[in-house]
Amino acid sequence: MELTGLFFYLVSLLILGGIYALLCLALNIQWGMGGLFNAGIAGFYGVGAYSSAILTTAASSKHLGGFSLPVPIGLLGAAVIAGLAGWAVARICVRLKSDYLAMASIGIAEILRLVIVNEDWLTNGSLGLSRIPRPFGDLATGRMSDVVFLGFVWVVVLLVYLASSRLYDSPWGRSLRAIRDNETSAAAAGKNVEKFRIQTFVIGCAVMGIAGGLSAHYFRFLSPTATDPLLVTFLVWVMLMAGGSGNNRGAILGALSIWTLWSVTEIFTNRLPPEWATRSSFIRMLLVGLLLQVVLQKFRAGLLPEKSPPVKFRKEETGSGG
């Protein structure tokens, strides 16, 4: 019994860890590769979660829906709609400098949250959406469906990881890093800075949307509390800084280690006397805040620092020189 309990604890830990890994990979594309300070992760995550939920749930009089589409289509929809939201935001804000972009993106995330809370016809307001289906729902039932879902989440993580590693190594990623490190010289070299930034922002937001969609299918229930900036935006920033921004593997490692730290402390704090147990989430929040300070001061590069791939030349070009 003890062992099966532990097993399913591990499963839920890894499912949420996988969702955070996606958010971290997405932020790594925007911040790690492109240097875009997106502080509105929760907003795009929320857009994705609601999009996928609305597309896949059965008809209900309480909210927009009734499309009953398969989950993968829902997730695709989440990526497209969150990406479109990201495009609209990027068109307006992407030229802003880092501090200003942070303010603007928090503002946009908060506006998206206000829309989610207030537009009852669309999202059922604070009551939320329920009976959101899971992918391969008929393959397994009960707790075993968690295991199936775990596999599904990590397949998505793997696909996104492979895609973003490819992006990082590609000429596109190289130009992006050039812009991040020295915008003026990249522009002088003929790179269209704004176009690159919009693309980066959109790709990142689409991945954040997928992460949001996955969380909606995991919990099967969605309400505005899911888009709490503390758990979505802040925690993801800490994860990426701790894991190593600019490094995709670092992003996944950071997500998993910080998420494990966050969850495991819950086990200990639950054993505290009741008057302290209710405050345990504040202690954890305090520790996360302090951990970020330690990371920023002592190991700024993170667990896995960024390693730019060496520039490879084709044989013919290097061959003649020696």
Positions in the binding site for other proteins (CB under 8 A)? 37, 39, 92-93, 96-100, 102-104, 106-108, 110-111, 114, 117-118, 230, 234, 237-238, 241, 279, 282-283, 285-286, 288-290, 292-293, 296-297, 300
Q: How far is the CB of 25 from other proteins (least distance, A)?
A: 18
Which of 43/212 has CB closer to other proteins? 43
CB-nearer residue toward other proteins: 300 or 307: 300
For every residue of 258-299, DSSP letters joined together read HHHHHHHHHHHHTTS-HHHHTTHHHHHHHHHHHHHHHHHHT-
Instruction: Report phi then psi at 289, rounded to 5.
Output: -60, -45
Smallest gap from Cβ 287 to other proteins, in A, equals: 8
Helix-helix angle 71-93:193-219, to 10 degrees: 140
Q: What is the spatial distance between Cα 132 and Cα 213, in angstroms, rounded to a whole number?
A: 10
Q: Write the burial class of residue 255 (CB in 10 Å: 0-12 exposed, 13-18 middle, 19+ buried).
A: buried
Residue 109 CB, shortest distance to other proteins, in Å, is 10
The nearest distance, CB 241 to other proteins, in angstroms, is 7
Q: What is the DSSP letter of 61?
A: S
3-state helix, strand, coil in the chain (%, to 5): 75, 0, 25
Pick the closer one to other proteins by CB: 107 or 137.
Answer: 107
C-alpha dist (Å) from residue 42 to 39, 167, 236, 280, 303: 8, 24, 10, 23, 25
Q: How many CB atoms lie within 10 A of CB 281?
A: 14
Reference 75, options 132, 6, 146, 114; nearest CA is: 132
Q: Which two tokens stand for residue 22?
A: 């996606």
Residue 4 Cβ, how far from other proteins at the closest point, in Å? Answer: 34
**Residue 81 φ then ψ, to 5°:** -70, -45
Q: Which is nearer to other proteins, 76 or 106 (CB)?
A: 106
Q: Which is nearer to other proteins, 173 or 229 (CB)?
A: 229
Amino acid at 18: G
CB of 314 to other proteins, least distance (A): 35
Q: Toward other proteins, which CB reaches closer, 110 or 306? A: 110
Nearer to other proteins, 156 or 242 (CB): 242
The smaller minimum CB distance to other proteins, of residues 97 and 315, is found at: 97
We find the least distance from the C-beta atom of residue 89 to other proteins, in angstroms, to be 9
Q: In the complex, what is the shortest distance from the CB of residue 59 to other proteins, in angstroms, rounded to a whole number?
A: 27
Dist. CA 61–CA 204, nearest whole Å? 33
Q: Name the helix (H) or strand (E) containing 145.
A: helix 144-169
CB atoms inside a 10 Å sphere around CB 186: 19
